[in-house]
Structure 1
């Protein structure tokens, strides 16, 4: 990482992410869900926008995470709410992998929030 990359915060080691699964991590006090799908890493807020449920406890199938509380689904790539009862998108975060570590840009303009 160069000195110009001050907005990137280390989240975890890449090796700590299970393939095709989701984990919850705390990054600078934020509860974040990290997903790996076919070798790509995605990051969203960890709380469902519909109910107070942690998405890291949900079921990941492809690029869709199912909320464990009401079975609504989000697309982890862009945060879109895909079905009822969800109506509000999830906030997503840009991800960067560098030297075996996963970094998030928590200061980027919110994506996925409507």
Structure 2
């Protein structure tokens, strides 16, 4: 578990409908940060069906979903839950905070 927060970007750089990938510097975990209507969420940047980065997929800001380009699995960006086959397990969701004019996240798994 990482106790240190990873800087994502300046608050103004992540607009609604946009996403950005960062790496937790302590755990080496790739994290996908998404802005859904001004609310920012962070998920592990890896499909739970097969090891493939979700950031390569399409972020549907209207539906609040991210789709893996490999096999079409979709996940809710708000909580990471799998919405359709072939994925049945959620992707890890991480905390996000806005501080010092920027967005921050971290891998908080134990």
TM-score between the two structures when normalised by the length of structure 1? 0.80
In structure 2, the residue matched to 1:92 is: 93
Alpha-carbon offset, residue 86 of structure 1: 0.7
4+ residue segments displaced more than 6 Å: none
Distance change (3 Å), C-alpha of 1:27 and 1:47: same
Tell me how far apart the structure 2 counterparts of residues 90 and 107 of structure 1 sit (CA, whole Å): 13
Tell me how far apart the structure 2 counterparts of residues 87 and 75 of structure 1 sit (CA, whole Å): 12
Contact 1:10 1:101 in 2 (8 A): no
CA-to-aligned-CA distance 1:11-48 (integer Å, 9 cap, x gap): 32223324302221112121010101111110010010
Distance change (3 Å), C-alpha of 1:102 and 1:81: same
Tell me how far apart the structure 2 counterparts of residues 71 and 57 of structure 1 sit (CA, whole Å): 12
In structure 2, list runs of 5 or more residues that go unmatched: none
Alpha-carbon offset, residue 91 of structure 1: 0.3
Alpha-carbon offset, residue 108 of structure 1: 5.4
Does 2:50 align with 1:54? no
CA-based RMSD? 1.8
In structure 1, list runs of 5 or more residues that go unmatched: 1-5, 110-114
2:19 to 3, 18, 22: 22
CA-to-aligned-CA distance 1:85-104 (integer Å, 9 cap, x gap): 11110000111101221122
Tell me how far apart the structure 2 counterparts of residues 86 and 97 of structure 1 sit (CA, whole Å): 31
Greater CA drift, 32-41 or 6-15: 6-15
Query: May I ask how many residue pairs the two structures share in their alignment?
Result: 104
Does 2:40 align with 1:44? no
